[in-house]
Each structure stands twice: as C-alpha cells, then as structure tokens.
Chain A
C-alpha cells in the first residue's frame, strides 16, 4: 500500500529552527509537496521538490532524497504565525496526490 508518515505533533520556541520529517512509500514518484494549514482554513502551497536536494524559499526550505523516500521541511526564525499543521503529499505514478496526516506545529513564546 501507499504510505506517508509524519510526526503527529511538534513543539518549538519562537525564533528557533524546526525540522519536520516526512517519509513515504508510494507506487511511483512524481514530486513531493509541502502545504501549510492553519486551523479551520484551507491548505496553502509551500514548496515542491522533484529532484534530490534542498529548495530554499525565504525562512522555509524543503529537502528531498528520493533514494531514501525522505523529505523534510525546515522552518527558520520561527514566528507565532507559523503555528499550523504542515502536510506532506507525494504525487504517485497515477499523478494523484497521496497525503500524510499532517504535523501540528505548536510555537511557544
């Protein structure tokens, strides 16, 4: 079967750095996405990786290793507004997105 694993919840301190991991086992691979979802709101797109390596976008970076079936989202200089759920999704061989259950990130002052 297809599976996306992420930690259920993480806690970090304002101003710090946090890394959210995602491991996947899917039938085929055509890209990996990270989305942010604030409570009661829609998911919003953060990043996309299709080749191995690090993609940097301001305070957020995303890393991919296809051989390990592994990605992480790195958030730097954490702000209170970063408190949200972070969703990892992999596009499989049928070009459908398979979603993880999400990681709830709690930021403490």
Chain B
C-alpha cells in the first residue's frame, strides 16, 4: 500500500441499508478526515480524527458515524442510507506534528443511494 486506499470504488445501495466505507493509510499520519463532494459545492467535512482513539464532528455529520481504533484505519458508516447521501466520498490524512499539515486524499468512493 502506498498512501491512502479506499474501498469500495463505487457502490449502489438501497435506501435504508447499512454501509461502511473503508479507508486505510500507510503514512503514519495522526489525523484523518472524511469529506463528501457534491456537484457545485466545495468539499464538506463529515467527521475527523486528530489521533487514534478520538473523533470529532465536521460540518455535515448527521447520518454518519466513524471510529478510529488505530492509526491506519478510519471507517465511515452510514447506519441507514438515504438518497441525499448519494455523493463522492473522500478520505484524507495529514501529519499535524509540524510543517504545513497538508491533507492527502484517497481515490474516493462513489456512492449512489436509491
């Protein structure tokens, strides 16, 4: 693995189903983030984690949950999917220990909720 991986690449999901989007990084970054990207809008932060064992809510957290059991993994769960959660989801990570704290992105998951 090099960088950040996300799975699945794309998914079509029936409304009401539960879905977990996976994110793994191998850069030993302490911070990780989940964004959604919708046409005509900027990236919007869903949840974040500054370090393993801690999580925080972003701008649009409703309907989503996250966990950070270790440094590398940061799964995003939709407990009961709704059509408005149709979007492209990006996971990102950064090293907040110094420097510019630049965020690096995974390839994204395209989710369609019908």
Contacts and interface: CB of A to CB of B under 8 A. Distances in A.
B30 to A, nearest CB: 13
A97 B105 CA distance: 13
B83 interface: no
B41 A45 contact: no
Interface in B42-81: 42-45, 48, 58
Range of interface residues on B (Cβ < 8 Å): 10 to 19
Interface string A30-74: 010100000001111100101000000000000000000000000
22 contacts: A4-B42, A41-B107, A42-B90, A42-B106, A42-B107, A42-B108, A43-B43, A43-B90, A43-B105, A44-B105, A45-B104, A48-B100, A50-B100, A87-B42, A87-B43, A89-B42, A95-B101, A96-B45, A97-B43, A97-B103, A99-B43, A99-B44
Given A96-B48, A102-B42, 17 more contacts: A4-B42, A31-B100, A41-B108, A42-B106, A42-B107, A42-B108, A43-B43, A44-B105, A45-B102, A48-B102, A50-B100, A87-B42, A89-B42, A91-B101, A95-B96, A97-B45, A101-B41
